[in-house]
Amino acid sequence: MQAGNPGQLGKYRLVATLGQGGMGTVYLAFASGLGEFRKLLVVKELRQDLLSKDLSVAMFIDEARLAARLDHPNVVQTFEADQDQGRYFLAMEYLDGQPLSALIERLRARGGLPLGLHVHVLCEMLLGLQYAHELRDYDGSLLHVVHRDVSPQNVFITYHGQVNVVDFGVAKARDASTRPTPGVFKGKFAYAAPEQAFGRPVDARADLFAVGVMLWEAIAGRRFSDHSPTHEAFQARLAGREPRIQSVAPDTEPL
């Protein structure tokens, strides 16, 4: 976390910068109210250098529209989407904990995250993803939501044991104003399904592929793919030439 006071955004006092991603800057913030009312939350602001790019603004608004519809114990909650003097932002719940990726890394030297606990986290994550995949519009039709960036970095575990899927910034939904550009890859290659890696149309199965990779890593105790997204790595993913779980954990029962 970067120290300092980034200022004010709408009705939210920005306390510190938590991080920056491809689309937004994330702040720790609080809202004030009657008397001594204070509530900690997280504010995600569209990066200043993207404000002049219509596509980036449209994607951020799509994220806000989808976030407003998501209401599940295993999905991070969004309270508000607004703009203040041309600055676009989301106000989301503050989760006091760590991403799964940080927990795995911290416990690596101690033998890793216990498999039973790791699988429990994945099951809770699947509940959140199932909810998103089955989300329907007001007329009852499926929205066909696909997260497209399922990974240990986007699974958050609070210190009270709650598991949340976070960051629907590159998610795809039927009612989005923007459409994925054919041939353009979004997400993290290490967890991307072959169709997604090649920029082809995807559905909920792409998210399940990513969960499968995370389960492989939980059982094996190591990364599924250490390759950068080179041409050879893409071809291996497409052809299914990456290692089967029995090759690194022989005691694993075949499906």
Q: Which residues are catalytic?
A: 149
CA distance 193 to 206: 5
The amino acid that residue 162 corresponds to is Q
Strands (E), the chain: 7-9, 12-20, 24-32, 38-46, 78-84, 87-93, 97-99, 155-158, 163-165
SS3 168: coil
Contacts of 31 (CB under 8 A, 6+ apart): 11, 12, 13, 37, 38, 39, 41, 91
Tokens describing residue 161 = 């044991």
CA distance 15 to 5: 5
CA 107 to chain centre: 22
CA distance 166 to 97: 13
Tokens describing residue 171 = 């998610």
SS3 60: helix
